[in-house]
Amino acid sequence: QKEVEQNSGPLSVPEGAIASLNCTYSDRGSQSFFWYRQYSGKSPELIMSIYSNGDKEDGRFTAQLNKASQYVSLLIRDSQPSDSATYLCAALLYGQNFVFGPGTRLSVLP
């Protein structure tokens, strides 16, 4: 059973702080990892993808992947109230379907 685990939260951080979102996955064969953001009542939207070990930065977002530890994280620097949403971690094993985690609800307090 392929699983992706996330802390459901809510994770509350003050505006301007760094929000750290974590995800673990069970299938060592997973090759690609994605972070989606979902605002309440909206559909998920892709914010980051990461395929190899290490860090990947895009603006205020940094994704980190450690395949040995089966761990993926997303850091949001200078958090803004508009970042308040549910963040979904997803793992993809090539040729198979995406497996999504339950999501972490982030609340950025003004």
Partner 1 sequence: KAGVTQTPRYLIKTRGQQVTLSCSPISGHRSVSWYQQTPGQGLQFLFEYFSETQRNKGNFPGRFSGRQFSNSRSEMNVSTLELGDSALYLCASSRGQNTGELFFGEGSRLTVL
Between CA 73 and CA 10 the distance in angstroms is 16
Among 49, 56, 75, 107, binds partner 1 (CB under 8 A): 49
3-state secondary structure of 82: helix
Residue of 40, 69, 82, 94 interacting with partner 1 (CB under 8 A): 94
Backbone angles phi, psi at 83, to 5 degrees: -80, -10
Total binding residues toward partner 1, as defined by CB under 8 A? 22
Q: What does the alpha-carbon distance between residue 35 and residue 48 come to, in Å, rounded to a whole number?
A: 5
103 binds partner 1 (CB under 8 A): yes
Q: Which residues contribute to the site for partner 1 (CB under 8 A)?
A: 32, 34, 36, 42-46, 49, 88, 90, 92, 94-103
